[in-house]
Amino acid sequence: MHSIAKFMYFKIMGWKLDGFFPKIDKCVVIIAPHTSNLDFLLGLLIRKVLNEEFNFIGKKALFKWPYGWYFRWQGGMPIDRTKSSNFVSACAALIKSTPKIHLTLAPEGTRSKVTKWKTGFYYIAKEAEVPIVMVAFDYGTKSIKFSNPVFPTEDIEADFKGYRSFYKGVQGKEKKNM
């Protein structure tokens, strides 16, 4: 699958990698801008190109028969997303209890246009005591860009300013959702 994915990604689709994913066992990966369902498919392909496991969370209902096996095979992990559960603590506990996990999240929380990112990824990384790795899917340059791992500090405003600057100029698939 690795060779097929590389051929598809580089030769057929014409994408390139800008940097590399760090060799760490645990982190929160934020992928932005998230503007299209195609981002998920590109993410699945990138997993194979990099030969690296990435995980995502989904509501428990997605992991039931008949599709549950597929989502687990693709790195999915079920989580209770109801209002009564503490989503941040549940994700942090999942990270702490898993030997190797690269938990991917979209900071926008949706594919629709937003004016402000959600903060859950920040607090998940903070509570789990793991770094954040930023990944940009830039459809304008057809490149995937990676950051170095960064730990959240006590200054959320400064941290978010740094995160946003990493994504400056990056174009999502659907420009109307940016």
Domain spans of the chain? 2-177
Examine the pLDDT at 92 and tell me if it is beyond 90.
Answer: yes
Mean of the per-residue pLDDT values of the chain: 88
Q: How far apart are CA 114 and CA 107, in angstroms?
A: 10
More confident position, 176 or 161: 161
> Which of helix, strand or coil describes residue 105?
strand
The pLDDT tens digits for 2-50 are: 788 777 777 778 889 999 999 999 999 999 887 788 888 888 888 888 8
Place of tokens 């030997």: 99
87-97 and 120-128 are packed helices; what angle lies between their axes, rounded to 10 degrees?
A: 40
9 exposed, middle or buried (CB, 10 Å; 0-12, 13-18, 19+)? Answer: buried
> pLDDT confidence of 76, banded at 50, 70, 90?
confident
21 within 8 A of 52, measured Cβ to Cβ: yes
User: What is the per-residue pLDDT for 2?
Assistant: 73
Which of 66-70, 92-96, 97-101, 127-131 is the least confident region?
A: 66-70
Examine the pLDDT at 61 and tell me if it is beyond 80.
Answer: yes
87 within 8 A of 79, measured Cβ to Cβ: yes
Number of H helices, E strands in the chain: 6, 7
13 within 8 A of 146, measured Cβ to Cβ: no
Q: Could you tell me the pTM of the whole model?
A: 0.86
> pLDDT confidence of 87, banded at 50, 70, 90?
confident
> pLDDT confidence of 175, banded at 50, 70, 90?
low
- What the block records as the tokens of 45 is 């392909």
User: What is the per-residue pLDDT for 36?
Assistant: 82
More confident position, 176 or 169: 169
CB atoms within 10 A of CB 40: 16
Examine the pLDDT at 85 and tell me if it is beyond 80.
Answer: no
Strands 132-138 and 143-146: antiparallel
User: What is the per-residue pLDDT for 47?
Assistant: 84
CB atoms within 10 A of CB 142: 13
